[in-house]
């Protein structure tokens, strides 16, 4: 879980492992977030979610944006063979 505080601008993120999900709740400001071909516009109170196993970005619009970012990594079960 991260307290995300972004100055105006675009921030690129590399892909994460297979099955990784990111969830955001915006508290202040506006942002575009998600995979490059599926970014969504979020405002205060909005929730966004996307798979993070592809390149994605966070773009803070009109000044600073504050959000909570939760990254979920899938559990790996032991091989029981």
Contact 70, 32 (CB under 8 A): no
Distance of CA 74 to the CA centre of its chain: 16
Nearest alpha-carbon partner for 42 in 16, 22, 61: 61
CA distance 59 to 29: 11
End-to-end CA gap in the chain? 34
- pLDDT, tens digit, 9 for 90 and up, residues 5-52: 999 999 999 888 888 999 999 999 999 999 989 999 999 999 999 999
Query: What is this structure's pTM?
Result: 0.84
Contact 5, 64 (CB under 8 A): yes
């Amino acid at each position: 879980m991260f307290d995300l505080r972004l100055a105006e601008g675009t921030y690129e993120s590399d892909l994460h492992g297979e099955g990784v999900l990111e969830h955001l709740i915006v508290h202040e400001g506006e942002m575009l977030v998600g995979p490059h071909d599926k970014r969504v516009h979020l405002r205060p109170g909005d929730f966004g979610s996307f798979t993070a196993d592809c390149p994605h970005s966070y773009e803070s619009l009109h000044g600073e944006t504050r959000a909570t970012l939760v990254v979920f990594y899938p559990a790996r079960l032991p091989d029981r063979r």
